[in-house]
Structure 1
């Protein structure tokens, strides 16, 4: 099973390609991924691989002496927060090689160990890739384990990838509709429990930081991570005040082994890629959500006519 970089897009013109690889077992996995990597290396193209640890080690072994020529990343670390994958993995590698004629990346953001809380952020990430890389000479191949993942996850993969590849070869996805996926998964977040709440405006920003740090310490976060939580919360409430021109309702609680912080306001966050684009060095502002994605283990966002809610999770 070989994934050919020359496979045309449905339109025949778009240089960006985003196929899903449906595999069952390690033999099919390697048959679908190793030729993709080897063809890129033979053509002198930069290649990166960001997949979970077991798959990563199998690819490293399969590449043998060629492995040092490939950027190898453990997605369970680099992409623990799906909101970090675009800026920290995909854009980071593609932008590093802007002068290359073509760039290849294998990214596996969805695996059987993902939780129900994480999954909506994962599938939104897959849908957003199609907007983020339009017009760029990049191919991002996304493997899906058909033996381990539920049927609805595989159906979503058909909606977020224009091309599907299995042992029979590539085919176009008749279900491809990434914007529908983004709308479908813009779901109201679960109701928070009774939790400490603070109403934050510009004069009370310092109080919000102190509140976040105290709750992080009380929950048992390590000192460095408690500082990270304080910083992430500060960015969320500051965004509400500066960009949404709204007071922020801040809540903090513990849930399923995570410290959770939530900031709600009455503003509209219409830019779906906010916090997912790398900031150029000369940009001094507008880095808040990017920093939040870097610090948190998970970020969930809900947009509605009444405002925006952003919820962050940090593992205890």
Structure 2
């Protein structure tokens, strides 16, 4: 298996139909990194994490593991909190490998579009980094749409029984990212319009309503942070004003902010902040604390919807 490519960044989908095929694709990938002296991480949901760890045996001690079911529940957190967190901790001239499973059976309909957009953005985020990312996709349990989207977001793919990666003829990350930039389902009718003079009022209204809906403790503080960051961004970058909603939806409290700004940089909020960076951390903080962040942006404005799980 050739895992020493001449191009800096390699992003491949791994299509598998069962646990044996999963391990046949992931374990040699990890072992190849160890043999080459490359730092390697495995970021997959808990059940698969245990499979890979057990299959590696003593070599597992040399691998960094992330439970993607926890750290990657919000797809917007995966780039800064998992991929960048691991790669940026290594010397910049040292190649790294990561098994990163962001799409798995059980992802909700609300989470899935954010997952596809994440996979599309990985290519731009690490274009010049010496890095190989392998993304497993369960073809037996995921629907055909997920497999088709994987072909569009990954320039390469691996199939069971094939020792070498194949080039994806359907690769087109910009197009698939735009296709999932869809208007969000309508928010409830009760809303609060805010501007520079009412930011504090907006934050207090949001936390008061969230508390009434059952959000408590740290999660309530997180919602206050989210509200403050999003409403401030609207005032500074979104035309000077915006609209705020807070409501309950199943097991979540939802906070949404809409304004007339256009989020032109798709990687905004997905890059780690640098030590000397001034400003520009608001959407990153939102991604790091929310359980899910959905974004729709266009020339007419931007809507950002954040979900916080009740009882967590």
> Scaled by the length of structure 1, what TM-score is found?
0.95
Query: Does 2:193 match 1:199?
Result: yes
112, 133, 136: which one pairs with 1:143? 136
3, 12, 28: which one pairs with 1:5? 3
Query: Does 2:82 match 1:110?
Result: no
1:47-126 correspondence runs (5 A): 47-126=40-119
Find the counterpart in structure 2 of residue 231 from structure 1: 225
Please give the alpha-carbon distance, in whole angstroms, between the structure 1 residues aligned to 2:201 and 2:142: 44
Tell me if structure 2 keeps the 8 A contact 1:217–1:223. Answer: no
Please give the alpha-carbon distance, in whole angstroms, between the structure 1 residues aligned to 2:160 and 2:138: 13
CA deviation after TM superposition for structure 1 residue 222, in Å: 2.3
111, 126, 130: which one pairs with 1:133? 126
1:263-274 correspondence runs (5 A): 263-274=257-268
Tell me if structure 2 keeps the 8 A contact 1:14–1:134. Answer: no
> Scaled by the length of structure 2, what TM-score is found?
0.96
Tell me if structure 1 keeps the 8 A contact 2:196–2:240. Answer: no
SS in 2 for 1:105: strand
Query: Does 2:280 match 1:294?
Result: no
Please give the alpha-carbon distance, in whole angstroms, between the structure 1 residues aligned to 2:49 and 2:161: 24
Find the counterpart in structure 2 of residue 15 from structure 1: 8
Unmatched 5+ stretches in structure 2: none
Alignment root-mean-square deviation, CA: 1.1
| Matched residue count | 308
Please give the alpha-carbon distance, in whole angstroms, between the structure 1 residues aligned to 2:75 and 2:18: 24
CA deviation after TM superposition for structure 1 residue 167, in Å: 1.3
SS in 2 for 1:263: strand
CA deviation after TM superposition for structure 1 residue 97, in Å: 0.6
SS in 1 for 2:10: coil
- CA deviations on 1:63-111 (whole Å, 9 max, x unpaired) are 1111111110100111010000000000111110134521000100011
Find the counterpart in structure 2 of residue 43 from structure 1: 36
Unmatched 5+ stretches in structure 1: none
- CA deviations on 1:195-234 (whole Å, 9 max, x unpaired) are 3x11111111110110111111111112210110111111
